[in-house]
Protein backbone atom coordinates (compact mmCIF):
# COMPACT_ATOMS: atom_id res chain seq x y z
CA UNK A 1 0.00 0.00 0.00
CA UNK A 2 1.26 3.46 -0.89
CA UNK A 3 0.87 5.76 2.09
CA UNK A 4 1.88 8.90 0.21
CA UNK A 5 2.52 9.32 -3.49
CA UNK A 6 3.35 12.15 -5.87
CA UNK A 7 2.50 12.10 -9.56
CA UNK A 8 4.35 14.41 -11.94
CA UNK A 9 4.63 16.98 -9.16
CA UNK A 10 5.97 20.41 -10.15
CA UNK A 11 6.56 23.01 -7.45
CA UNK A 12 7.49 26.62 -8.12
CA UNK A 13 7.46 29.93 -6.26
CA UNK A 14 7.03 33.04 -8.36
CA UNK A 15 8.46 31.35 -11.43
CA UNK A 16 11.35 29.85 -9.46
CA UNK A 17 11.33 26.06 -9.84
CA UNK A 18 11.73 23.94 -6.71
CA UNK A 19 11.26 20.55 -8.37
CA UNK A 20 10.02 19.18 -11.67
CA UNK A 21 8.11 15.99 -12.43
CA UNK A 22 8.60 14.42 -8.99
CA UNK A 23 7.27 10.87 -8.83
CA UNK A 24 7.87 8.96 -5.63
CA UNK A 25 5.90 6.92 -3.15
CA UNK A 26 6.18 6.34 0.58
CA UNK A 27 5.33 2.79 1.62
CA UNK A 28 4.91 1.32 5.12
CA UNK A 29 8.25 0.90 6.85
CA UNK A 30 10.06 3.41 4.64
CA UNK A 31 11.99 6.39 5.99
CA UNK A 32 12.76 9.05 3.40
CA UNK A 33 15.31 11.77 4.07
CA UNK A 34 15.61 15.00 2.08
CA UNK A 35 19.09 16.47 1.64
CA UNK A 36 20.12 19.68 -0.08
CA UNK A 37 21.75 23.04 0.40
CA UNK A 38 20.22 26.06 2.09
CA UNK A 39 17.39 27.71 0.17
CA UNK A 40 17.04 24.85 -2.30
CA UNK A 41 13.35 24.24 -1.43
CA UNK A 42 13.37 21.32 1.02
CA UNK A 43 10.84 22.93 3.35
CA UNK A 44 8.69 24.00 0.39
CA UNK A 45 8.61 20.41 -0.86
CA UNK A 46 7.60 19.14 2.59
CA UNK A 47 4.85 21.77 2.90
CA UNK A 48 3.50 20.76 -0.51
CA UNK A 49 3.41 17.10 0.51
CA UNK A 50 1.43 18.15 3.59
CA UNK A 51 -1.10 20.14 1.54
CA UNK A 52 -0.01 23.44 3.07
CA UNK A 53 1.19 24.88 -0.24
CA UNK A 54 -0.30 24.33 -3.72
CA UNK A 55 1.76 22.69 -6.44
CA UNK A 56 2.20 24.18 -9.91
CA UNK A 57 1.00 20.90 -11.44
CA UNK A 58 0.70 17.23 -10.61
CA UNK A 59 -0.84 15.82 -7.45
CA UNK A 60 -0.22 14.35 -4.02
CA UNK A 61 -2.17 11.27 -2.96
CA UNK A 62 -2.70 9.89 0.55
CA UNK A 63 -3.45 6.16 0.52
CA UNK A 64 -4.54 6.51 -3.11
CA UNK A 65 -6.85 9.49 -2.55
CA UNK A 66 -5.98 12.96 -3.85
CA UNK A 67 -4.94 15.04 -0.87
CA UNK A 68 -7.27 17.88 -1.86
CA UNK A 69 -10.29 15.54 -1.53
CA UNK A 70 -9.58 14.46 2.06
CA UNK A 71 -11.41 16.23 4.89
CA UNK A 72 -9.00 18.12 7.15
CA UNK A 73 -10.04 16.16 10.22
CA UNK A 74 -9.45 12.84 8.46
CA UNK A 75 -6.15 14.13 7.10
CA UNK A 76 -5.01 15.07 10.62
CA UNK A 77 -5.56 11.47 11.71
CA UNK A 78 -3.42 10.17 8.86
CA UNK A 79 -0.69 12.78 8.53
CA UNK A 80 1.35 14.68 11.09
CA UNK A 81 3.72 17.59 10.45
CA UNK A 82 6.60 18.94 12.51
CA UNK A 83 7.61 22.41 11.39
CA UNK A 84 11.15 23.73 11.31
CA UNK A 85 10.53 26.05 14.26
CA UNK A 86 8.03 25.91 17.10
CA UNK A 87 5.85 28.98 17.64
CA UNK A 88 3.74 29.65 20.73
CA UNK A 89 0.58 30.93 19.07
CA UNK A 90 -1.40 30.66 22.31
CA UNK A 91 -0.11 30.95 25.89
CA UNK A 92 -0.45 27.74 27.85
CA UNK A 93 1.20 25.04 29.88
CA UNK A 94 3.15 22.08 28.60
CA UNK A 95 0.18 19.79 29.27
CA UNK A 96 -2.29 22.10 27.52
CA UNK A 97 0.00 22.31 24.52
CA UNK A 98 0.68 18.60 24.13
CA UNK A 99 -3.06 17.84 24.35
CA UNK A 100 -3.51 19.66 21.03
CA UNK A 101 -2.29 16.41 19.50
CA UNK A 102 -5.49 14.67 20.62
CA UNK A 103 -7.87 17.07 18.85
CA UNK A 104 -8.23 15.02 15.62
CA UNK A 105 -9.39 12.04 17.68
CA UNK A 106 -11.94 13.82 19.89
CA UNK A 107 -15.64 14.20 19.04
CA UNK A 108 -16.57 17.71 17.92
CA UNK A 109 -16.77 20.12 20.88
CA UNK A 110 -15.69 17.38 23.29
CA UNK A 111 -13.18 17.91 26.09
CA UNK A 112 -10.20 15.68 26.82
CA UNK A 113 -10.93 12.78 29.15
CA UNK A 114 -8.92 10.68 31.57
CA UNK A 115 -7.54 8.48 28.78
CA UNK A 116 -6.38 11.53 26.80
CA UNK A 117 -4.49 12.88 29.81
CA UNK A 118 -2.90 9.47 30.40
CA UNK A 119 -1.73 9.33 26.78
CA UNK A 120 -0.38 12.89 27.07
CA UNK A 121 1.56 12.00 30.21
CA UNK A 122 3.04 8.97 28.42
CA UNK A 123 4.09 11.10 25.43
CA UNK A 124 5.77 13.65 27.71
CA UNK A 125 7.50 10.84 29.56
CA UNK A 126 8.82 9.50 26.25
CA UNK A 127 10.55 12.83 25.57
CA UNK A 128 11.71 13.29 29.19
CA UNK A 129 9.33 16.18 29.91
CA UNK A 130 6.94 14.53 32.34
CA UNK A 131 8.23 16.70 35.21
CA UNK A 132 7.37 19.89 33.30
CA UNK A 133 3.61 19.51 32.81
CA UNK A 134 2.79 22.78 34.59
CA UNK A 135 5.55 24.87 32.99
CA UNK A 136 4.44 27.66 30.67
CA UNK A 137 5.67 27.06 27.13
CA UNK A 138 7.14 30.57 26.90
CA UNK A 139 9.62 29.61 29.65
CA UNK A 140 11.02 26.61 27.75
CA UNK A 141 14.37 26.49 26.02
CA UNK A 142 14.63 25.84 22.28
CA UNK A 143 15.45 22.17 22.85
CA UNK A 144 12.57 21.73 25.31
CA UNK A 145 10.13 23.30 22.85
CA UNK A 146 11.38 20.90 20.19
CA UNK A 147 10.78 17.91 22.44
CA UNK A 148 7.32 19.25 23.30
CA UNK A 149 6.47 19.54 19.60
CA UNK A 150 7.57 15.94 19.10
CA UNK A 151 5.48 14.81 22.08
CA UNK A 152 2.45 16.54 20.52
CA UNK A 153 3.06 14.60 17.32
CA UNK A 154 3.40 11.36 19.30
CA UNK A 155 0.00 12.07 20.82
CA UNK A 156 -1.50 12.78 17.40
CA UNK A 157 -0.34 9.30 16.38
CA UNK A 158 -0.39 9.70 12.58
CA UNK A 159 0.58 7.04 10.07
CA UNK A 160 2.52 9.46 7.85
CA UNK A 161 5.14 11.66 9.51
CA UNK A 162 6.52 14.77 7.76
CA UNK A 163 9.33 16.29 9.79
CA UNK A 164 11.24 19.48 9.00
CA UNK A 165 14.61 19.34 10.74
CA UNK A 166 13.33 17.41 13.79
CA UNK A 167 16.71 17.58 15.52
CA UNK A 168 16.81 21.40 15.60
CA UNK A 169 18.03 22.73 18.98
CA UNK A 170 18.66 19.21 20.32
CA UNK A 171 21.93 17.95 21.79
CA UNK A 172 23.48 14.74 20.49
CA UNK A 173 21.84 12.53 23.12
CA UNK A 174 18.34 13.85 22.47
CA UNK A 175 18.83 13.72 18.69
CA UNK A 176 19.54 9.98 18.76
CA UNK A 177 16.95 9.15 21.45
CA UNK A 178 14.13 11.00 19.71
CA UNK A 179 14.91 9.67 16.23
CA UNK A 180 14.95 6.15 17.68
CA UNK A 181 11.65 6.86 19.44
CA UNK A 182 10.08 8.12 16.22
CA UNK A 183 11.22 5.01 14.35
CA UNK A 184 9.69 2.80 17.03
CA UNK A 185 6.34 4.60 16.80
CA UNK A 186 6.30 4.64 12.99
CA UNK A 187 7.13 0.92 12.87
CA UNK A 188 4.39 0.11 15.40
CA UNK A 189 1.80 1.93 13.25
CA UNK A 190 3.13 0.36 10.02
CA UNK A 191 3.58 3.92 8.87
CA UNK A 192 6.19 5.90 6.99
CA UNK A 193 8.24 9.05 7.36
CA UNK A 194 9.69 11.87 5.26
CA UNK A 195 12.10 14.25 6.98
CA UNK A 196 14.41 17.10 6.11
CA UNK A 197 17.81 16.85 7.78
CA UNK A 198 21.12 18.63 7.27
CA UNK A 199 23.15 15.89 8.96
CA UNK A 200 24.14 13.35 6.29
CA UNK A 201 25.19 10.83 8.92
CA UNK A 202 21.78 10.90 10.60
CA UNK A 203 20.22 10.32 7.18
CA UNK A 204 22.40 7.27 6.54
CA UNK A 205 21.71 5.94 10.05
CA UNK A 206 17.95 6.44 10.28
CA UNK A 207 16.62 6.58 6.69
CA UNK A 208 16.02 3.83 4.16
CA UNK A 209 15.63 6.20 1.18
CA UNK A 210 16.76 9.69 0.28
CA UNK A 211 15.93 12.57 -2.07
CA UNK A 212 18.87 14.76 -3.08
CA UNK A 213 17.80 18.25 -4.20
CA UNK A 214 20.10 20.43 -6.27
CA UNK A 215 19.62 23.40 -8.59
CA UNK A 216 15.95 23.71 -7.64
CA UNK A 217 14.98 20.32 -8.96
CA UNK A 218 15.13 16.73 -7.80
CA UNK A 219 18.59 15.44 -8.58
CA UNK A 220 18.36 11.85 -7.41
CA UNK A 221 16.09 9.65 -5.30
CA UNK A 222 16.23 6.06 -4.11
CA UNK A 223 17.61 3.75 -1.40
CA UNK A 224 20.25 5.42 0.77
CA UNK A 225 22.89 2.77 0.09
CA UNK A 226 22.50 3.33 -3.66
CA UNK A 227 22.24 7.12 -3.71
CA UNK A 228 24.49 8.50 -0.97
CA UNK A 229 28.20 8.39 -1.73
CA UNK A 230 31.20 10.66 -1.53
CA UNK A 231 30.75 11.55 -5.21
CA UNK A 232 27.03 12.39 -5.02
CA UNK A 233 27.51 14.47 -1.86
CA UNK A 234 30.34 16.45 -3.46
CA UNK A 235 28.07 17.21 -6.44
CA UNK A 236 25.21 18.08 -4.11
CA UNK A 237 27.13 20.51 -1.91
CA UNK A 238 29.84 21.56 -4.37
CA UNK A 239 32.40 20.98 -1.64
CA UNK A 240 35.02 18.28 -0.97
CA UNK A 241 33.70 15.44 1.21
CA UNK A 242 35.66 12.89 3.19
CA UNK A 243 34.34 9.37 3.70
CA UNK A 244 35.55 7.51 6.79
CA UNK A 245 34.80 3.79 7.08
CA UNK A 246 33.79 2.68 10.56
CA UNK A 247 32.47 -0.53 12.02
CA UNK A 248 28.97 -1.09 10.66
CA UNK A 249 29.09 1.62 8.00
CA UNK A 250 30.75 4.90 7.10
CA UNK A 251 30.68 8.57 8.07
CA UNK A 252 30.90 11.67 5.87
CA UNK A 253 32.67 14.91 6.78
CA UNK A 254 33.49 18.15 4.94
CA UNK A 255 36.93 17.98 3.35
As a whole number of angstroms, the distance between CA 111 and CA 83 comes to: 26
As a whole number of angstroms, the distance between CA 180 and CA 136 comes to: 27
User: Average pLDDT over the chain, rounded to whole?
Assistant: 92
Among 145, 116, 117, 121, CA closest to 131: 121
Q: Are strands 31-36 and 209-214 parallel, antiparallel or unpaired?
A: parallel
Residues 6+ apart with CB under 8 A from 178: 127, 147, 150, 166, 167, 170
As a whole number of angstroms, the distance between CA 95 and CA 130 comes to: 9
Q: DSSP for 14-70?
A: TTEEEEEEEEEEE-TT-EEEEEE-TTSSHHHHHHHHTTSS--SEEEEEETTEEGGGS
As a whole number of angstroms, the distance between CA 86 and CA 141 comes to: 11
Q: What is the mean pLDDT of residues 112-121?
A: 94
Residue 208 · residue 24 · CB < 8 Å: no
Tell me which DSSP letter residue 255 carries.
-
3-class secondary structure per residue, 121-186: HHHHHHCCCCCCCCCEHHHCCHHHHHHHHHHHHHHHCCCEEEEECCCCCCCHHHHHHHHHHHHHHH
pLDDT at residue 215, as a whole number: 75
Q: How many domains would you assign to the chain? A: 1
pLDDT at residue 1, as a whole number: 81
Q: What is the mean pLDDT of residues 128-137?
A: 95
As a whole number of angstroms, the distance between CA 121 and CA 147 comes to: 13
Tell me which DSSP letter residue 72 carries.
H
| Residue 244 belongs to domain with CATH number | 3.40.50.300
Burial 178-199 (b: 16+ CB within 10 A, else e): bbebbeebbeeeebbbbbbbee
Interval 141-170: pLDDT, tens: 999 999 999 999 999 999 999 999 999 889
pLDDT at residue 39, as a whole number: 87
Q: What is the mean pLDDT of residues 107-115?
A: 87
Q: Domain limits at 212?
A: 4-254
pLDDT at residue 109, as a whole number: 82
pLDDT at residue 89, as a whole number: 65
Amino acid sequence: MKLLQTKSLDISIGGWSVCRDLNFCLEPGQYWGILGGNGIGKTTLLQTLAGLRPSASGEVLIEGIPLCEIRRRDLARKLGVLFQDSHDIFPGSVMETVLIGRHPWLPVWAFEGREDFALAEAALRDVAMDTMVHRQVNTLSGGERRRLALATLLLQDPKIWLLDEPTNHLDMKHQINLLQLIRTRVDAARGGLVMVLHDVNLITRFCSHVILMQDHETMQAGPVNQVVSQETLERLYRHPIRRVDVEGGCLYYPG
